[in-house]
Amino acid sequence: MTSSVGIIGAGTMGQGIAQVAALAGEQVLLYDVKTAQSREARDKIFGFLDKMAGKKQIQATEADAAKAADSTWPPD
């Protein structure tokens, strides 16, 4: 069963929590009062996931699943 995790604040700590939650299969909603910060955080998380997959720390399918679980608010 997948649950949802809401994270308020897309700084360093929020990004880390979002990444771990997404890798655990949770639906992630990442919010920051600065819209640009939410989007930048999402891009950084996606970059970290790609880097981990490139180093074979996780499977590419795991990275793709985690990306699909990550949402930002407000959406693009």
End-to-end CA distance of the chain: 27
Q: Which domains does the chain have, with CATH numbers?
A: 4-73 (3.40.50.720)
Please state the rounded mean pLDDT for residues 3-29. Answer: 93
Query: What's the pTM?
Result: 0.85
Place of tokens 């997404």: 22
Q: Name the pLDDT band for 71 (thresholds 50, 70, 90).
A: confident
Helix, strand, coil content of the chain in percent (nearest 5):
55, 20, 25
Q: Is residue 9's pLDDT more than 70? A: yes
What are residue 31's phi and psi, to 5 degrees? -130, 140
Q: Name the pLDDT band for 62 (thresholds 50, 70, 90).
A: very high
> Average model confidence (pLDDT) for the chain?
90
